[in-house]
Amino acid sequence: MVTVRNATEEDLPAMLEIYNEIILNTLAVWHEQAHTLAMRKEWFALKKEQGFPVLVAESQGVILGFATIATFRPWSGFRFTVENSVYVRPENRGQGVAKLLLPALIDAAKQLNIHAIVAGIEATNDISIALHEKFGFIEVAHFKEVGFKFGRWMDLKFMQLTL
C-alpha cells in the first residue's frame, strides 16, 4: 500500500537519490550536475520557510516519489501562482505513484489559497503531459528550443490548472 505524507528531513537522502537519477538520466529536470545532500537540505529548509508542502509517496518504508510546489516568479503579483514538481523513482514509474502525489499536491495548494498551478514540462514528455491533463491542466504555452541538455535543444510546454 502506498501512502502520501508530508516529507521529513529523514526522507531527504531518498529524495536526493530520486532527483539525481532524474538529473543524470532524463529530460524532466534541466540541471546537468547531480545535487548534494547539503543542497537538498537547503532546498527543504526554504520550502518550510516559504510554507510550501513537500509530499512523499511511501510504501513499506521506501520513498517511491515526491512532489512539491514553488514560487512561479519572484514578483509579488505572482504570489497566488505556483509551479509544481512531481518525481518518481525509476522502478516505480508507471505504477500510479504520480497519480497519488499530484492530487494531494493540488489539495495542499488549495489549502494555501493558491489560484493557479503551472507545470513546466519538456515537450516530448508525453507521460507527464497526460498525467497533468488527467487532473485538469491545460497547455497554455509552448516555448521552442529554450533548453539544452544531452547535446540537444529542448522545447518547454507550460500547462496550467486554475483552482
pLDDT interval class at 161 (50, 70, 90): very high
pLDDT in tens, 3-12: 999 999 999 9
Domains delineated in the chain: 3-162 (3.40.630.30)
Q: What is the pLDDT of residue 1?
A: 93
CA dihedral 44→45→51→55, nearest 10 degrees, is 20
List beta partners, residue 54: 68
Average pLDDT on 25-37 reads 96
Q: Could you tell me if 112 and 70 are in contact, meaning their C-beta atoms sit under 8 angstroms apart?
A: no
Go through the chain and tell me how many residues it has.
163
Spatial contact of 4 and 56, defined as CB atoms under 8 Å apart: yes
User: Which burial class, exposed, middle or buried, applies to 106 when counting CB atoms under 10 A from its CB (0-12, 13-18, 19+)?
Assistant: buried
Average the pLDDT over 62-81 and give the result: 97
Give 32-63 pLDDT, tens digit per residue. 999 999 999 999 999 999 999 999 999 999 99
Residue 47 has what pLDDT? Answer: 97
Percentage of the residues of the chain whose pLDDT score is greater than 70: 100
Give the three cell numbers for residue 156: 518547454
CA 158 to mean position of chain CA atoms: 13
Per-residue confidence at 162, pLDDT binned at 50, 70, 90? Answer: very high
When pLDDT is averaged across residues 68-90 and rounded to a whole number, the result is: 97
The amino acid present at 114, given as its one-letter code, is I
Q: Please give the model's pTM, rounded to 2 decimal places.
A: 0.96
pLDDT of residue 128: 97
d(CA 21, CA 19): 5
* 8-state DSSP, 27: S
Average pLDDT, the chain: 97
